[in-house]
Chains A and B, each alone.
Chain A
Amino acid sequence: MQQLDRKLGFFSALPMFVVLAVSFLAPLVVVVLFSVMPQKVFDLAHVPDFSSFPYFFEQGYYKSLLWSLGLAFCSTVILFIVCWPLAYGMAKVFGRFTLVITIAVVMSLFVSENIRLFGWVLTLMKGGLIDGHLQAWFGVGIDGALYNVPIIVFGLVYVYFPFMLFPLAQGISMVPDDARQAASDLGATRWQILKEVDLPLAAPGIMVGSLLSFVLAAGAIAESKLLGGQKIIVIADEVETAFTYGQNWPLGSALAVILIAVIGGFAIFGINLINIDQIMGKKR
């Protein structure tokens, strides 16, 4: 039986390995190879000179990386605070309403993120859904809601909301009611229960949610472009510009490699910490 399991496991993993080898591993190898090529070449038949990497510091690209990481960090913290009560409600209080929220949130995921961000532009712009109606009804509007740094964080919080909400709800549902009851019987305050029972026991969910939001937000482009109006340039945007307007693949690749190294570092570290079987509800 065990022998058979081993063989079957390997064979059923094969299709996925093929997909990932062609569409994930190979492209990454190509990016790394391109990143060490001389400037502005379009194929790999050159002597590597590593000339792109010094630009990261010389031309201030590191600032874009810091912006990306900073924005991702802020939005992750805000997401955690915003999602916690809702996730708690979904896991412990709502019952049927949980299903409604789940379906509604999943459905919003199926709408392309740039359509939804464009919706926010229409909502917040001068003469938009909010400003226009306020002007018409009260004569005072909101000005300058768009094209600043906080609105980029807002956009990130909006887009990555489901990626924090669902893991958190899953994490909180792993906290046994008995443990909370016991803590409460022993005289723990609400704050103590949160700190000593809920947070530690829901840690795997918190971990996955924060990791997902942080990593995805750090690589995001559309929020700063559509809502931020190029107020700041995030690193993924620099990568794109180097490829498109710059026509400098090696520079773009070098920036991408740095971004991948930072994000991949976080991702691998986080994935290694969690017990995948446990969080996905393995029963055996």
Chain B
Amino acid sequence: MKTSATTRFALYAYGILALIFLYLPIVAIGFASVSKSRYLTFPINEYATQWYGRALESQTVSDLLVTSLKIAVIVTIVSMVVGFFGALAFARYEWKYRSLFQKIILLPIFFPQAVLGLSLLMWFNAIGVLPSWKTAVVAHLVWIAPICTLIVAIRAYSFDPALEEAARDMGASTFVILKEVTFPLLMPGVVSAGLFAFLLSWGNFPLSLFTTGVDSTLPEWLYAKMVSGYSPLVPTVGIMSVVASFIVLMLALFLPRLLRRGSEAS
């Protein structure tokens, strides 16, 4: 059944509209970040990059960056490991509680994150752990490790178990099979899971809100400034955070390709 040209055109137009709808607020922040005046009104009369200089000099901003980065890096590493094994249990091995395991993994994703953050705060309090950026790592993992599992699982579903069986028939041990067959095959899934983990942790707000204690992440600081009165640094730091995640994404997308090309050339 062919879609008529009119319908196709309408659908494309709709798709472009949807993208505009998604990015309009980010564009608004972008404009706001280069406005010269302290009190923002549109249309912007004078453009200036002074707030970027201000933000880069600020000790607060660099502390925020370091905290967010520490959390995101550890969350990424742990989620990749947990997600890799979780995905095997999720998609590959036929074991007794597989379907239960699949459902349990979905539960935290279907959970209000702010409530989860509060529950974690009470739990840390009950066992006498002082909230800091380290507890925020635990909090991020509740939500991000299951998502990573799902991402690796998509890859694991399309994987032919005969490959593992062949290796086993030729006498490879379970560990060798994991290292030489399973891991290389799931590698692309693990890498994209890591990318998701990093970026989701970097941008997460509701889970950090109650669990970072005296430390503060970028999204938390931005939120605090948004509700307690406008600061011209808010759009600037917001855009810097967006640009940072964009750079990470681009590196992850294109670095492997460049490296491959480099090694082919040499």
- B24: chain A residues at CB < 8 Å are 119-120, 123, 129
Residue of B nearest to A2 (CB): B94
Shortest Cβ distance from residue B120 to the other chain A in the assembled complex, whole angstroms: 5
Q: Could you list 18 further interchain pairs (A-B, Cβ under 8 angstroms) beyond the known A6-B93, A30-B126?
A: A12-B85, A13-B85, A20-B142, A22-B138, A23-B142, A27-B116, A43-B125, A85-B11, A93-B3, A104-B22, A110-B200, A118-B235, A118-B238, A119-B28, A123-B28, A216-B112, A222-B223, A249-B122
Segment with Cβ contacts to A, from B49-57, B59-67, B147-155, B254-262 = B147-155
CA distance A126 to B97 in the complex (A): 56
From B12, B93, B116, contact of A5 by CB (8 A): B93
Chain B contacts to A: CB under 8 angstroms? 1, 3, 7-8, 11-12, 14-15, 18-19, 21-29, 31-32, 40-43, 78, 81-82, 85-86, 88-89, 91, 93-99, 101-116, 118-123, 125-126, 138-139, 141-142, 145-146, 149-150, 153-154, 157-158, 161, 165, 174, 199-200, 202-206, 210, 218-219, 222-223, 226-227, 234-235, 238, 241-242, 245-246, 249
Residues B203 and A110 in contact, CB atoms below 8 Å apart? yes
Cα A94 to Cα B10 with chains together (Å):
11
Task: Check B138–A16 contact: CB distance below 8 A.
Answer: no
9 contacts between A and B (CB under 8 A): A12-B88, A86-B15, A86-B18, A114-B219, A212-B109, A226-B227, A260-B115, A276-B102, A282-B157
Interface-lining segment among A47-55, A58-66, A177-185, A199-207:
A177-185
Q: A259 to chain B: closest CB distance in Å?
A: 6
Residues of chain B with a CB closer than 8 A to A232's CB = none
B91 & A282 in contact (Cβ 8 Å cutoff): yes
List residues of A (104-143) whose CB comes within 8 Å of B's CBs: 104-105, 107-123, 127-133, 136
Inter-subunit contact B89/A13 (CB<8 Å)? yes
B residues in contact with A277, CB < 8 Å? 91, 102, 157
Complex CA–CA separation, A106 to B12 (angstroms): 18
A101 an interface residue at 8 Å Cβ cutoff?
yes
Q: Chain A residues near B11: list those with CB within 8 A.
A: 85-86, 88-89, 93-94
- Report chain B residues within 8 Å CB of A104: 19, 22-23
A19 pairs with B142, CB closer than 8 A = yes
Select one of A8, A28, A111, A122 contacting B203, CB under 8 A.
Answer: A111
Interface contact A8-B88, CB-CB below 8 Å = yes
Which of B43, B122, B142, B203 is close to A253, meaning CB atoms less than 8 Å apart? B122
Bound CA span A16–B41, Å: 49
**Is A105 a contact partner of B22 (Cβ separation < 8 A)?**
yes
Please tell me if the beta carbons of B226 and A114 are within 8 angstroms of each other in the complex. Answer: yes
